[in-house]
Amino acid sequence: MTIYDKIGGQPVIKTATTVFYDRVTGDDALAQWFAGRDLSRLRAHQRAFLAAALDGPQLFTGLDLGEAHTGMAITDDAYTRVVGHLIVTLDDLGVEEELLTEVERRLEVLRPQVVGA
Ligand code: HEM
C-alpha cells in the first residue's frame, strides 16, 4: 500500500491539495516565489509537490528537480515553510503522526536538489 492510499486516497488528497495551496499562496514569506504566477501552473506545482511527498521521487523520472528550480534562489527557510504547510494540512485532516514523519522524510531527501538549485 502506498502512502497515498494510507493517507486516505483521492478524497483526502483532493482536500489536502486545496488547503495546502491556500496556505502556500497566503504565506507572505513565500510570495516572492508564488505571487503573480499563472494559476494553473501553480496548481500543477502543488500536485507535483504532493506526488513527491506521497508517492516518492520515482514519479519524477526524467525530470531534474534542480533544473526545474534553477535561478529561483529558493532558501532553506522557504523549503521548510512549504513542507510545514503540507504537514499542518495533513495533520488537520487527521493523518497519523507516523505518516507525517514519513512525508517529511521523503521531502527532506529532495531538499538539496531544490534549495540553491
Ligand atoms: C519536493 C519539492 C518540490 C517539487 C517536487 C517541485 C516541483 C516542481 C516542478 C515539477 C516544477 C516545474 C514545473 C513546470 O515547469 O512545469 C517546479 C517549478 C517551480 N517551483 Fe517547485 N517543486 C518543489 C519545491 C519548491 C519550493 C520549495 C518552491 C518555492 C519556495 C518552489 C517553487 C517553484 C516555482 C516558483 C516554479 C515555477 C512555476 C512556474 O512554472 O510558474 N518549488 N517545481
- CATH number, domain of 82, equals 1.10.490.10
What is the average pLDDT across 56-72?
73
Query: Minimal CA–CA distance to 89: which of 22, 37, 41?
Result: 22
Say yes or no: CB of residue 85 within 6 Å of ligand 1.
no
Q: Per-residue pLDDT for 57 more than 50?
A: no
Q: Which residues of 82-112 are buried (b: 16+ CB within 10 A; e: fewer)?
A: bbebbbebbeeeebeeebbebbeebbeebee
Is the distance from CB of 13 to CB of 42 less than 8 angstroms? no
Distance 68 CA to ligand 1 centre (A): 6
**Minimal-distance CA residue to ligand 1 atom 24:** 114
Query: Minimal CA–CA distance to 22: which of 110, 86, 74?
Result: 86
- What's the domain count of the chain? 1
Q: For the whole model, what pTM was predicted? A: 0.91
Residue-wise pLDDT tens digits, 77-105 = 999 999 999 999 999 999 999 999 999 99
Structural domain containing residue 82: 3-114
